A and B are shown apart, each in its own frame.
Chain A
Amino acid sequence: MAGTDDLSALMRLARQGDDEAYRRLLGQAAIWLRAVVRRGLASAGRGPAESEDIVQEVLLAVHLKRETWDPSRPIGPWLRAIARYKLADHLRRRGFHDHLDIEEWSNAPELAVEVETPAAIDSRRMLASLPERQRTIVQEISLEGHSAADVATRLGMTEGAVRVALHRALKALAALYRREQP
Chain B
Amino acid sequence: MRTEQLVDALVADGAAARPIGSSLVRALAAGIALSLVVFFLTLGIRPDIRPALETWRFDLKIVTALLGLVLAFGICRDCARPDMPPHPLRRLLPLLVLIVAAVAVELALVPEAAWRQRLIGSNSLICLPMVPILSVAPLAAVLWTLRRGAPASPVLAGAAAGLVAALCGATLYAFHCFDDSPLFVATWYSLATLGVTAVGAWAGHKLLRW
Contact = CB atoms under 8 A, between A and B. Distances in A.
Interface string A17-46: 111001100110010000000000000000
A65 B83 contact: no
Contact of B6 (A19, A66, A142, A163): A142
Interface stretch (B15-23, B33-41, B90-98, B131-139): B15-23
Nearest to B80: A68
A14 B15 contact: yes
B11 A123 contact: no
A170 to B, nearest CB: 6
A22 B20 contact: no
* Interface size, A (range): 35 or more
Contacts of A94: none
Nearest to B2: A116
Contact of A55 (B3, B5, B13, B82): B3
A147 B21 CA distance: 32
A141 B12 contact: yes
B152 interface: yes
B7 interface: yes
B60 interface: no
A96 B172 CA distance: 47
Nearest to B8: A142
Interface string A41-85: 000000000001001100111010111111101000110111011
B9 A142 contact: yes
Contact of A61 (B7, B83, B210): B210
B7 A26 contact: yes
Contacts of B83: 73, 77-78, 80-81
Nearest to B9: A142
Contacts of B13: 63, 163, 166-167, 170
A39 to B, nearest CB: 18
A119 B152 CA distance: 26
B148 A67 contact: yes
A56 B7 CA distance: 9
Contact of B15 (A22, A78, A85, A148): A22
A27 B12 contact: no
Contacts of B152: 81, 85
7 contacts: A22-B14, A60-B6, A67-B17, A68-B81, A68-B150, A163-B13, A178-B210
The 7 lowest CB-CB distance pairs between A and B, nearest first, are A81-B82, A14-B15, A65-B150, A123-B1, A142-B5, A81-B83, A67-B17
Given A26-B11, A65-B82, A170-B13, 7 more contacts: A19-B14, A19-B15, A27-B7, A63-B15, A68-B81, A70-B81, A124-B1
